[in-house]
Amino acid sequence: MNVKYQRIVSLLKNNLVHFKSIGKVAGNVSIRDVTGPFFRLIYTEDIEGKVYWLRDNKKVEPQKRQYALFIPPYSISEDVHENSYFKCEMLLGDIDLNTKFNEPIIFYPDKFQIPLGIEEIKNILDNIVKYDFIGRAINPNVIASKAKIIIQNNFLDNIKIDTVAKKLSISNAMLSQYFKKSFGMTPVQYRRALRIEYSILLLSQGKAPAEVAHKVGYNDLGRFYKQFKDVLYDCPGNIKNK
């Protein structure tokens, strides 16, 4: 897998984190993305190649320029890149926007400019007309949904997946099978992605990687670095205010 990013990170008012990125993906690569307890608004411009979202097994093909909106509490999406080259900007923050949407969407406003304040964000969201849902699962398995809730409520407490399976009276293997079929990733991958997503906000606020690793449930700093890079294709030390 050949995925490369260049990122600039800055901290705005109200603890909003602003990312500016240029990405290049060689080959055909599926990227599974998890939104934890934080709001995300992402503007993307696809310059070369092809990008689309998977909703169950159906393609959702966006326009070359689009916003993607991810609303708390928790969601899973999957986008597929085919030799893509793109630039994007993202806002990440712990804010309550009280929007009508309860799952991820892509949408196309009249003007494409990343807002840098809460009122600007609300104004954009209040005027959404054309949109498509991009949540990975339309009708997830009941067991998988229950497991997802348990994990997202306990991911900072180092909860073990076999503990989740026991709570649901099911084997680890069957739980992973149901979960992956519904959400495109295993329960272990979901827990890891939640921890990494939470760590982004802490790192951008200037906290040291060792402190962040411990706070999001890692006792091994080397493991935190490796899994961070597996998820974000970048090192924790690069996610800092510039």
What digits encode the pLDDT tens for the residues 69-88? Answer: 888 767 888 889 999 998 88
The pLDDT tens digits for 90-127 are 888 877 777 888 788 999 887 777 777 788 888 888 88
Instruction: Please tell me whether residues 125 and 155 are part of one structural domain.
Output: no
- What is the C-alpha separation between 233 and 33, in angstroms, rounded? 12
Rounded to an integer, the average pLDDT of 157-179 is 93
* CATH code for position 233: 1.10.10.60
Instruction: Please tell me whether residues 128 and 146 are part of one structural domain.
Output: no
pLDDT of 177 > 90? The answer is: yes
Checking 110-116 for CB contacts under 8 A at 24+ apart, the result is: 112/43, 112/45, 112/65, 112/67, 113/43, 114/18, 114/41, 114/43, 114/89, 115/41, 115/91, 116/12, 116/16, 116/18, 116/91
Instruction: Please tell me whether residues 216 and 97 are part of one structural domain.
Output: no
Instruction: Please tell me whether residues 150 and 71 are part of one structural domain.
Output: no
pLDDT of 164 > 90? The answer is: yes
Instruction: Please tell me whether residues 111 and 217 are part of one structural domain.
Output: no
**What is the average pLDDT score of the chain?**
85
Q: Which residue range forms the structural domain that includes residue 17?
A: 2-133
Higher pLDDT, 222 or 237: 222
DSSP 217: T
Least confident of 11-15, 44-48, 212-216: 11-15
pLDDT above 70 covers a percentage of the chain that reads 93
Per-residue pLDDT band for 1 (boundaries 50, 70, 90) equals very low
Instruction: Please tell me whether residues 168 and 212 are part of one structural domain.
Output: yes
Instruction: Please tell me whether residues 97 and 196 are part of one structural domain.
Output: no
Higher pLDDT, 89 or 164: 164
Instruction: Please tell me whether residues 107 and 60 are part of one structural domain.
Output: yes
pLDDT of 220 > 80? The answer is: yes
Instruction: Please tell me whether residues 41 and 11 are part of one structural domain.
Output: yes
The number of domains in the chain is 2
- What is the C-alpha separation between 92 and 185, in angstroms, rounded? 23
pLDDT of 10 > 90? The answer is: no
Instruction: Please tell me whether residues 213 and 231 are part of one structural domain.
Output: yes
- What is the C-alpha separation between 39 and 136, in angstroms, rounded? 17
Q: Is the pTM of this model over 0.85?
A: no
Per-residue pLDDT band for 4 (boundaries 50, 70, 90) equals low
Six-digit token string for 222:
């080397």
Of 65, 35, 36, 40, which is closest to residue 51 (Cα–Cα)?
65
Instruction: Please tell me whether residues 59 and 92 are part of one structural domain.
Output: yes
Instruction: Please tell me whether residues 127 and 146 are part of one structural domain.
Output: no
The pLDDT tens digits for 191-209 are 988 888 888 888 887 889 9
